[in-house]
Amino acid sequence: MNILPVYTALVFAVLLAVYVAAVCLDRPSGIHYLPFGLAMVMLWLWSAATACTYQGSTAVFGGPLTVDDYSLIERAETEWCTRSEGRCCPATLGLAYQSIEPRICKAIGVATDCGGFYSERERLISLVTSRLADRRLMYVVILHEQGHACGLDHSDDMQALMYPVSTPYSHISQSDLEALQ
């Protein structure tokens, strides 16, 4: 369990109590208690900003990736590297992986039924593990997002792994491999 939200709420409550007590007991003009008010606002802003910030492989609103998840990731990296004859080896790209909740997809404008997405700027693959109970589908989503990390865009070929909608039966197709060239 990630304790960041609990810790943030506790610190915010303490700051609020100190501020209210100071204002009520001293009845100041208010100006010399401005730092308390500013600290509360800054803490609230920091809390809101970290709501979508990730630590290692654990998202604030997601659960940790499991050993089985990492096993799928390694298997997908190997499949890409082997099938592409070394033109796409995700293991060499310095990618990070994390588990997120579905609301993160919606918040950043990704399709609400997304199983994952890739952030090129952060070199980060996000997996909506709560939607990926089917291990085969999770594997396919990992393959798809690693394809983006290797520079592939979505494909119009419904048989391609890089088609925007994945099924548990999607796989690296010849059109995916040709798109790498």
Residues 80 and 150: beta-carbon distance below 8 Å: yes
CA distance 70 to 75: 8
The topology under which CATH files domain 56-179 is Zincin-like (3.30.2010)
**Where along the chain do its domains lie?**
4-51, 56-179
Note the pLDDT of residue 112. 58
Cβ-based neighbours of 102, under 8 Å, separated by 6 or more:
112, 114, 128, 130, 131
Q: In this model, does residue 161 exceed pLDDT 60?
A: yes
Question: Counting beta carbons within 10 angstroms of the beta carbon of residue 138, is it exposed (0 to 12), middle (13 to 18) or buried (19 or more)?
Answer: buried
Higher pLDDT, 26 or 152: 152
Residue 11: predicted pLDDT: 66
pLDDT of residue 61: 41
- Using pLDDT thresholds of 50, 70 and 90, give the confidence band for residue 131: low
Condensed to tens digits (0 to 9), the pLDDT of residues 29-51 reads 555 555 656 665 665 555 554 44
Rounded-to-integer distance, Cα 104 and Cα 115, Å: 11
CA distance 161 to 106: 23
Instruction: State pTM to two decimals.
Output: 0.63
Q: Calculate ∠ Cα 24-30-34, nearest 5°.
A: 110
Q: Is 175 exposed, middle or buried (0-12, 13-18, 19+ CB in 10 A)?
A: middle
pLDDT > 70 fraction of the chain, expressed in percent and rounded: 59
Higher pLDDT, 168 or 42: 168
Q: Is 120 exposed, middle or buried (0-12, 13-18, 19+ CB in 10 A)?
A: exposed
- The residue that leads in pLDDT, 122 or 45, is 122
pLDDT category at 128 given cuts 50, 70, 90 is confident
